[in-house]
Structure 1
Amino acid sequence: MDGVQLLRLGKRLTDLGRDVVADPSGGTLTPGELAVIGDVFKHPGASVQDIRARTGFAQSHVSTSVQRLRDRGILLAAPDPADGRRTLLTLADQVRRVVHQRAAMPAEQVLSAALSDPGQTARAVALIGELARLLGIPPTEPPAAER
């Protein structure tokens, strides 16, 4: 496997993962918006600057995504008590619950549709699970407040 193949594989897995976790009834979200939601899900109370640093997106891109998500009621903003110039972002409670439910959904159905052979699907699930373990990617867990 070369670097280009690895990038293509990563993109394909990202697309499949998005098919599992994206809520089709929730309207269309851009990949950038999904990344912002994912970051705030993992890091409640994040600032735009925090999200920018973790995602690698330009601050203007993060700010635009955050504003659109705030306008849709997906993100909530509050002033930072330590520094009133900063805004801290959290997911709306209902959105947090939906994201958690969707993130915990098994990927087999999407993989099955992509592969169309039950044997290949089972093998792909096992191989992807093994690769995740080898690369140190932990299983998704609910945030502490939801455990």
Structure 2
Amino acid sequence: MNAVELFLLGRTLMKIGEDALPEPPGGAARYAGSTRTVLVVASDIAAHPDSAVGEIAVRTGLPQSQVSTAVARLKEAGSVQAVTDPQDRRRMLVRQAAEPSERVVHVRETDVTEALAAALGTKEVARLREVTTALETLARALTPGT
């Protein structure tokens, strides 16, 4: 596998993940780009708790306005909380919520089988199990915090 193949695989996996995500509550429309942004920001917050929005923007390469919007969505979903920086009361620090909301639990527990079957073009149980096992192996090896 070369770097281009790895990059394209990553994009394909992101698309499958987006397709597997449950619909937002209240019939809100899906916006794939903002979903990616929110997940990138959530991942950064998990890896770097108690970060300011500007620090998250620097690490992710996203504009600060997009990070602020993503943090607001994550707060609304109950995934993160913002606390006042004890060293600089003008700054807010973002961290994962101590207890995930029902929405966060629901999203994290969402099964990917249907989206994976659609991407593979088959519902063959043995093939789905083989690919799922490979993805679980990659996740254990490469996902921060696992």
TM-score by shorter chain over 0.5: yes
Unaligned runs of 5+ in 1: 141-147
Indicate the residue corresponding to 2:22 in structure 1.
23
Give the counterpart of 1:62 among 48, 61, 67: 67
Q: What letter matches 1:137 in structure 2? A: T
Indicate the residue corresponding to 1:73 in structure 2.
76
Indicate the residue corresponding to 1:125 in structure 2.
132
Deviation at 1:12, TM superposition (A): 0.6
Residues 73 and 138 (structure 1 numbering): CA distance in 2 closer, same or farther, change over 3 Å?
Answer: closer
1:13 matched to 2:13: yes
Residues 66 and 44 (structure 1 numbering): CA distance in 2 closer, same or farther, change over 3 Å?
Answer: same
1:35 matched to 2:34: no
Query: Over aligned residue pairs, what C-alpha RMSD do you find?
Result: 3.3
Q: Which range moves more in the overlay, 2-11 or 110-119?
A: 110-119
1:104 matched to 2:109: yes
Q: Please give the alpha-carbon distance, in whole angstroms, between the structure 1 residues aligned to 2:70 and 2:97.
A: 15
| Alignment check: 8 A CA contact 1:52 1:59 kept | yes
Q: Please give the alpha-carbon distance, in whole angstroms, between the structure 2 residues aligned to 1:138 and 1:108.
A: 23
Identical residues among aligned pairs (%)? 31
Residues 99 and 41 (structure 1 numbering): CA distance in 2 closer, same or farther, change over 3 Å?
Answer: farther
- Paired residues in the alignment total 136
Deviation at 1:101, TM superposition (A): 3.2
